[in-house]
Amino acid sequence: MSSIKKRMELLRERMKAEQIDYYLIPTADYHNSEYVSDYFKVREFLSGFTGSNGSLVISQKEAGLWTDGRYFIQAEKELEGSGIILFRMLEEGVPTIQEYLEKQMREGQTLGFDGRVVNSAYGKKLEQALKTKNIKFCYKKDLADSLWMDRPAIPAHPVMILPENICGQSVKEKLAQVRETMEQENCQAHIVSKLDDLMWLFNIRGGDVECNPVALSYGFFTMTECYLFLQKEAVSEELRKYAEEYGITLMDYNEIENFLQEFPYMDYQSRNTGNEQKIHILFDDKNVNYSLYRILQEKAELVNKENPTEKLKAKKNPVELAQMQEIYLKDSAAVTKFIYWLKKNIGKMEITEYSAAMYLDNLRKEMEGFLDLSFPTISGYKENAAMMHYEATAKDHKELKPEGMLLVDSGGQYVGGTTDVTRTIVLGEISQEVKEHFTAVAVGMLNLSNAHFLYGCTGRNLDILAREPLWNKGIDYKCGTGHGIGYILNVHEGPQNIRWRYSEDAKEAVLEEGMILSDEPGVYIEGSHGIRTENVIVVRKGEKNGDGQFMHFDTLTYVPIDLDAIDTAYMQPKDIERLNVYHKAVYEKISPLLEEEEREWLAEVTRPVS
């Protein structure tokens, strides 16, 4: 712990030298990515907290870390002894960072942050909140850089081109769709900074973020020109030719700020409309960083809208959907094989949380088209499973015994798609309470995946279907029920999701045909057990009649739900029927992909219950 304290002390010295009173370190790269490469893990370096979401605020007298419900248990553990206060986001009475700064900062003080790792929406919000106190912003320096001696390099993996028959749509068509929106919004230019949007738009993939096949990049578009900013090291000769073919001008990633400073905006504007008004730039202020925003807002009129790519990408096209269906069957078979292996060998050989995860990871790695895991496999035994994003390591893990349950949340990146699945596996005796919780989770998961709803619904309308069986017992899980899932892209993708809470920041997206979502209710009892059952579902159109367009979900995931933890006493007949229907489909779809003895076992564990 003393290394953390020392780092904080060094940072405080730097702050003094720069006359910065409060310094903010969110967890982000220059693109507001959810997961970031090690280079960007400044908050982890300084605080010791390893969760994927967290922001650190430091002053001379205090340091606080803000994180969300998924990480409360973990953060408490990791921050112990550091002197850093844990702020549990969304809990009653806990201030947001903005509220904290508003209260703590004194007239005329200076707030520092690296403007490249703060998105412009948040930067503007801070400006607004702190302007009555005349707070100065110092946003051009990354103070941590000079004190982080062995900081990893910025990654720059080669960029790969995906063939059109895998993407289902050409770059040309996609660019035309984007320009259509630019025209509708009366914008002459458009900047895209969101990495997965850029990958989708250009039919390329990278490897600059662990498990997320994205390349650090920016895109800048006019109605005729198209600039793609990539790191030099990422660009192959093949990519150069590809870019030329599609009229894409390749630029150096590190030149984005200079480019935006020097772009001839006025020329462009008058050339296009014949008047001297400022050029209009379509711009998503949630995803463009504050440093770029400060440049652009002087040069142009910014039209703040969600990137058109975001929704286009979310509605998977028929080629993408067919690929996803196929890859989910293969991925489900791998997970099913894993469960079989685990159940057969538990108590007979040494298996740990970590070695179990390795075994599953290897099953995926052997699959055709495997690129990467879609996130580090979560393998949590007994009470470890109560930490939603627990990660067992080679050094630090529990040994599995023939008792309790193992929660495994995992997925792969394949040429055919991105998978995500969670099963909680019974290894031996479990309590009646655990069975009750497990059954309620399964019922909730099936309630949602069997929903029928009118077009126009968003995840906020549907979330309660998964959550109600738990709310009826006075239990909640402190996270959304589902997230969007990318296609050979980020395992978390917007704009769609299944959540109940209203959030000013998170726009609600109507559930559109072809959107893919996870459906993953859970129970997390600190110090006791954690249960999550996650299927992935796709939005489909159903009947259209005088009452409107009805929608429903198809399921992509086919992995048995452990009947050893199901007690039908907690189910209604419709719940039992849904489980049996699901298990019948699991057997039909997965058994052809298994060995004989696995198949026999699968028949048994997907038997109808009553």
> Which residue stretches of 315-420 are H helix?
318-345, 353-365
The DSSP output letter for 292 is H
Q: What are phi and psi of 99, to 5 degrees?
A: -65, -40
H/E element holding 497?
strand 493-498
Which among 8-16, 107-115, 301-309, 457-465 is the span making contact with a second copy, rule CB under 8 A?
Answer: 457-465
- Nearest distance, CB of residue 184 and a second copy, angstroms: 15
- Nearest distance, CB of residue 445 and a second copy, angstroms: 16
Contact 413, 213 (CB under 8 A): yes
Size of site (CB under 8 A) for a second copy: 35
Is omega for the bond preceding 495 within 30 degrees of 0, making it cis? yes
- Residue-wise burial string across 117-151, b where 16 or more C-beta atoms lie within 10 A, e elsewhere: bbbbbbbbbbeebbeeeebebbbebbbbeebbeeb
Which among 261-269, 329-337, 458-466, 596-604 is the span making contact with a second copy, rule CB under 8 A?
Answer: 458-466
Nearer to a second copy, 30 or 477 (CB): 477
Nearer to a second copy, 264 or 456 (CB): 456
Q: How far apart are CA 331 and CA 449, in angstroms?
A: 19
Q: How far apart are CA 125 and CA 119, in angstroms?
A: 10
- Nearest distance, CB of residue 354 and a second copy, angstroms: 29
Nearer to a second copy, 401 or 574 (CB): 574
- Nearest distance, CB of residue 104 and a second copy, angstroms: 21
- Nearest distance, CB of residue 464 and a second copy, angstroms: 5
Interaction between residue 173 and a second copy (CB under 8 A): no
- Nearest distance, CB of residue 575 and a second copy, angstroms: 8
Q: How far apart are CA 323 and CA 329, in angstroms?
A: 10
Contact 520, 534 (CB under 8 A): yes
- Nearest distance, CB of residue 467 and a second copy, angstroms: 8
Listed in sequence order, the residues at least 6 apart from 534 whose beta carbon sits closer than 8 Å to its beta carbon are 409, 420, 421, 422, 423, 445, 518, 519, 520, 557
* Residue linked to tokens 């994927």: 52
Which among 292-300, 455-463, 582-590, 591-599 is the span making contact with a second copy, rule CB under 8 A?
Answer: 455-463
Q: How far apart are CA 497 and CA 448, in angstroms?
A: 13
Q: Looking at 153-300, which runs of residues are DSSP E strands?
A: 160-161, 189-192, 204-205, 217-222, 226-230, 249-252, 280-283
Q: How far apart are CA 180 and CA 219, in angstroms?
A: 17
Nearer to a second copy, 147 or 457 (CB): 457
Nearer to a second copy, 99 or 267 (CB): 99
Interaction between residue 481 and a second copy (CB under 8 A): no
- Binding residues for a second copy restricted to 499-558, rule: CB under 8 A: 500-502, 508, 542-543, 545, 547-550
Residue from 10, 464, 593, 594 binding a second copy (CB under 8 A):
464
- Nearest distance, CB of residue 470 and a second copy, angstroms: 9
Nearer to a second copy, 291 or 449 (CB): 449
Q: Tokens at residue 312, please?
A: 């286009």
- Nearest distance, CB of residue 455 and a second copy, angstroms: 9
- Nearest distance, CB of residue 219 and a second copy, angstroms: 30
- Binding residues for a second copy restricted to 369-398, rule: CB under 8 A: none
For residue 329, count CB atoms less than 10 angstroms from its CB and return exposed for 0-12, middle for 13-18, buried for 19 or more. Answer: middle
Interaction between residue 570 and a second copy (CB under 8 A): no
Q: What is the pattern of x (binds a second copy, CB under 8 A) and - over residues 34-73? A: ----------------------------------------
Interaction between residue 362 and a second copy (CB under 8 A): no
Which among 40-48, 122-130, 416-424, 467-475 is the span making contact with a second copy, rule CB under 8 A?
Answer: 467-475
Contact 267, 300 (CB under 8 A): no
What one-letter code names the amino acid at 243?
A
- Nearest distance, CB of residue 543 and a second copy, angstroms: 5
- Nearest distance, CB of residue 574 and a second copy, angstroms: 6
Nearer to a second copy, 272 or 549 (CB): 549
Residue from 451, 488, 531, 563 binding a second copy (CB under 8 A):
451
Q: Tokens at residue 120, please?
A: 């412009």
Nearer to a second copy, 241 or 574 (CB): 574
Interaction between residue 442 and a second copy (CB under 8 A): no
Task: Quickly count: other Cβ atoms within 10 Å of residue 234's Cβ.
Answer: 22
Q: Are strands 110-112 and 136-138 parallel, antiparallel or unpaired?
A: parallel
Which among 13-21, 327-335, 415-423, 495-503 is the span making contact with a second copy, rule CB under 8 A?
Answer: 495-503
Q: What are phi and psi of 103, to 5 degrees?
A: -80, -45
Residue from 232, 267, 472, 600 binding a second copy (CB under 8 A):
472
Residue from 458, 518, 535, 557 binding a second copy (CB under 8 A):
458
- Binding residues for a second copy restricted to 92-121, rule: CB under 8 A: 92
Residue from 149, 573, 596, 610 binding a second copy (CB under 8 A):
573
Residue from 468, 512, 513, 567 binding a second copy (CB under 8 A):
468
Residue of 241, 264, 411 whose CA lies nearest to 328: 411
Q: Are strands 417-418 and 421-426 parallel, antiparallel or unpaired?
A: unpaired
- Nearest distance, CB of residue 465 and a second copy, angstroms: 7
Q: What is the 3-state secondary structure (H, E, C) of 440-477?
A: HHHHHHHHHHCCEEECCCEHHHHHHHHHHHHHCCCCCC
Chain Cα centroid distance, residue 546: 38
Residue from 6, 140, 344, 452 binding a second copy (CB under 8 A):
452
What one-letter code names the amino acid at 392?
A
Residue from 85, 454, 603, 609 binding a second copy (CB under 8 A):
454
Contact 443, 531 (CB under 8 A): no
Nearer to a second copy, 368 or 547 (CB): 547
Residue from 401, 471, 581, 604 binding a second copy (CB under 8 A):
471
Q: Tokens at residue 299, please?
A: 């040069």
Interaction between residue 259 and a second copy (CB under 8 A): no
The DSSP output letter for 389 is T
Rg over CA atoms, the chain: 25
Residue of 41, 45, 66 whose CA lies nearest to 3: 45
Chain residues binding a second copy by CB under 8 A are 92, 451-454, 456-458, 460-465, 468, 471-472, 474-476, 478, 500-502, 508, 542-543, 545, 547-550, 572-574
